[in-house]
Amino acid sequence: KRVPIPSIPSIEAPKEVSSGDGAIQGVPEQGSTVSITVVGASGDLAKKKIFPALFALFYEGCLPQHFTIFGYARSKMSDAELRAMISATLTCRIDKRENCSEKINQFLKRCFYQSGQYNSEDNFSELDKKLKDHEGGKVANRMFYLSVPPNVFIDVARCASRSASSSKGWTRVIVEKPFGRDSESSGELTSGLKEFLTEEQIYRIDHYLGKELVENLSILRFSNLVFEPLWSRQYIRNVQLIFSEDFGTEGRGGYFDNYGIIRDIMQNHLLQILALFAMEPPVSLDAEDIRNEKVKVLRSMRKLQLEDVVVGQYKSHIKGGVHYPGYTDDKTVPNNSLTPTFAAAALFVDNARWDGVPFLMKAGKALHNKLAEIRVQFRHVPGNLYKRSFGMDLDQATNELVIRVQPDEAVYLKINNKVPGLGMRLDRSNLNLLYSDRYSREIPDAYERLLLDAIEGERRLFIRSDELDAAWAIFTPLLKELEERKISPELYPYGSRGPVGAHYLAAKYNVRWG
Ligand code: NDP
Ligand code: BG6
């Protein structure tokens, strides 16, 4: 079990307070049960992430004693077929450690399936009946994971809330991205969901917030004296948020062409990291205190300008005799698509702490490597004694803090150091915290952490609706301009480092990508 998150000690004895999702806080729930319904259970995300994460939580003893998992989708499937589907794809970190077939069998016995339409309250009533049978009269808490395309989110919210919500316990709904395509559609989605659910019941997931190193950002910053005093325009020259994948959109072209890399990665994953990175110290670790600070950062950000953005799209490439297809070679993508598969952007937080500091984002598919990292480049040492005497290049002599989110999770600080010996030569070295050297436990998948948080009612790592509005406000004008003016993306070969334009953009702000 994980260590509980400390909260502000209360002076009075806890009272019964409703959290807004039906849960009564301050009263231990004895004899309660949790039913988790994965809506869209036949889909890619359910197989790849949700069921494996639920199994890992079960294996680690993190799920409540009484729990049931239901798969729900339109496809016809029996319980046995669902179990076969789950076990065929149950690759998880635990497999690597030991043979867990006994645990897998125990887990599968708790998994059931109900077929139905996403807009049928009758079908959800049938699900409700089956859920009740398994809940055996206990206080039933229910979680619905909406792992379906966004056009059915509101239907599912309506049917689940009207026909299958819990009468005595809590009801929570996890919503997957994309949360709209722009400010307007996101606003419509939010108001559509709020017709049937309260904000407290909605858990908007951004799985990057569940990544170990992203969660560690605040700990690094607020629990170490050495970082926080440097965390401002006074010492930081620029911050880089980099996401790169070494594969294209194969298999997801239909979805991707409607969104593009800016909506798929920048507006959510990278922007969320930026908000956590740049926020002021929150009053406490309470979810609302943290999200209040993130919203302030997002609302302080300048709307993204076209001249601060470079877009690209990968084209086919032959390397080592292997043909790598271009983005528009995908049959589900129109031949003349202008959808960016790469983007670089310079963003600014117009507040006292970050005035003038460029936050450079770079995200791309089909690049030369798979990587996600945060790079913090510090300013030059004023009047650096060693700069001239020992031939250090001014640019290379600055410190850089790198938080490598994936792969090979690490935090390292580039420093200048004397090369041992009788001479006086300086060298760039790393103070390196490589997780695989320091910690023997495997890092849990982001979905494990987030599912557990949702079960426990911890909303800290989920996106509040005002955060979402503020995030879309930064990107919507740019997205409209890109689309209205039909800006052509710069083509780059599959497996390359991306468009050269990204370097010019960085150079405009006197930055070199790390
Ligand atoms: P899928 O396209 O696999 O859809 C999930 C299920 O929804 C399908 O098995 C299908 O089930 C049903 N479905 C598919 N298309 C439609 C449609 N047009 N109308 C109604 N139902 C449909 O999606 P994923 O599993 O890939 O993703 C689920 C959600 O998670 C999406 O919102 C996606 O954007 C998001 N997401 C996915 C990621 C991924 O890696 N896959 C990553 C991050 C987010 P059936 O026909 O049986 O009803
Ligand atoms: C998803 C995007 O949100 O994140 C995908 O829709 C992307 O396009 C994925 O591949 C990356 O997640 P991860 O955890 O594999 O880095």
Token digits for 493? 């070969």
Q: Would you call 327 helix, strand, or coil by DSSP?
A: helix
For a substitution probing ligand 2, which of 204, 246, 264 has the most ligand atoms within 8 Å of its CB?
Answer: 264
Shortest-distance atom of ligand 1 to CA 153: 32
Shortest-distance atom of ligand 2 to CA 446: 14
Q: Note the pLDDT of residue 92.
A: 57
Q: Which tens digit of pLDDT belongs to each residue from 146-194? A: 999 999 999 999 999 999 998 889 999 999 999 999 999 999 999 999 9
Please determine, for residue 378, whether its predicted confidence score (pLDDT) is greater than 70.
Answer: yes
Average pLDDT over residues 29-41: 89
Q: Note the pLDDT of residue 14.
A: 39
Distance 271 CA to ligand 2 centre (A): 14
Closest listed residue to residue 51, CA positions, set 69, 76, 73, 74: 69
Q: What is the DSSP-derived secondary structure letter of residue 207?
A: G
CA 48 to mean position of chain CA atoms: 16
User: Per the residue annotation, which of 134, 207, 269, 380 is the catalytic one?
Assistant: 269
Q: Note the pLDDT of residue 250.
A: 85
* Long-range CB contacts (within 8 A, 24+) of 329-334: 330/248, 330/249, 330/250, 330/253, 331/253, 332/253, 332/254, 332/257, 333/249, 333/253, 333/254, 333/256, 333/257, 334/257
Q: Which ligand is nearest to the CA of 42?
A: 1
Average pLDDT over residues 357-362: 98
More confident residue, 255 or 370: 370
Of 4-13, 37-46, 429-438, which gets the smallest average pLDDT? 4-13
CA distance 220 to 385: 30
Q: Which tens digit of pLDDT belongs to each residue from 92-131? A: 566 555 668 888 899 999 999 999 999 999 999 999 999 9
DSSP conformation letters of 106-138: HHHTTEEEEE--TT-HHHHHHHHHHHHHHHTTS
Q: Which ligand is nearest to the CA of 272?
A: 2
Of 26-40, 179-193, 285-299, which gets the smallest average pLDDT? 26-40
DSSP conformation letters of 343-412: EEEEE-B-STTTTT--EEEEEESSBS--EEEEEEEEPPPTT-HHHHHTT--TTTTS-EEEEEEESS-EEE
Is cis: bond before 178, omega within 30 of 0?
A: yes
Average pLDDT over residues 462-467: 96
**Are 181 and 264 within 8 A, CB to CB?**
no
Which residues are paired to 430 by β-bridges? 414
For residue 246, name the pLDDT band (cuts at 50, 70, 90): very high
For residue 26, name the pLDDT band (cuts at 50, 70, 90): very low
Mean pLDDT estimate for the chain? 91
Please determine, for residue 9, whether its predicted confidence score (pLDDT) is greater than 70.
Answer: no
Please determine, for residue 12, whether its predicted confidence score (pLDDT) is greater than 70.
Answer: no
Q: Which tens digit of pLDDT belongs to each residue from 397-413? A: 799 999 999 999 999 99
Q: Note the pLDDT of residue 175.
A: 96
For a substitution probing ligand 2, which of 44, 207, 365 has the most ligand atoms within 8 Å of its CB?
Answer: 207
CA distance 334 to 330: 8
**Are 138 and 171 within 8 A, CB to CB?**
no
Q: Note the pLDDT of residue 480.
A: 97
Closest listed residue to residue 373, CA positions, set 244, 225, 220, 198: 244
Please determine, for residue 10, whether its predicted confidence score (pLDDT) is greater than 60.
Answer: no
CA distance 481 to 492: 22
Of 249-253, 427-431, 465-469, which gets the smallest average pLDDT? 249-253
Four-point Cα dihedral 416, 509, 488, 263, nearest 10 = 70
Q: Note the pLDDT of residue 101.
A: 82
CA distance 181 to 478: 12
Please determine, for residue 388, whether its predicted confidence score (pLDDT) is greater than 90.
Answer: no
Place of tokens 């009207």: 162
Closest residue CA from atom 1 of ligand 1 = 43
Q: Note the pLDDT of residue 303.
A: 97
Shortest-distance atom of ligand 2 to CA 255: 6
Shortest-distance atom of ligand 1 to CA 44: 25
Give the percent of the chain with pLDDT over 70. 91
Please count the other Cβ atoms lying within 10 Å of the Cβ belonging to residue 76: 9
Please determine, for residue 255, whether its predicted confidence score (pLDDT) is greater than 60.
Answer: yes
Q: Note the pLDDT of residue 4.
A: 43
Give the percent of the chain with pLDDT over 90. 80
- Compute the Cα dihedral for 49, 50, 55, 60 and give only its sign: positive
The enclosing H or E element of 312 equals: strand 309-315
More confident residue, 225 or 250: 225
Closest listed residue to residue 242, CA positions, set 403, 355, 133: 403
Place of tokens 């809330």: 161
The enclosing H or E element of 68 equals: strand 67-73
Residues listed for the chain? 514
Closest listed residue to residue 451, CA positions, set 162, 259, 205: 205
Q: Note the pLDDT of residue 43.
A: 93
More confident residue, 193 or 88: 193
Please determine, for residue 11, whether its predicted confidence score (pLDDT) is greater than 70.
Answer: no
Residues with CB under 6 A from ligand 1: 40, 42-46, 73-75, 118, 147-150, 152, 176-178, 255
Q: Note the pLDDT of residue 440.
A: 86
Distance 244 CA to ligand 2 centre (A): 10
269 is catalytic: yes
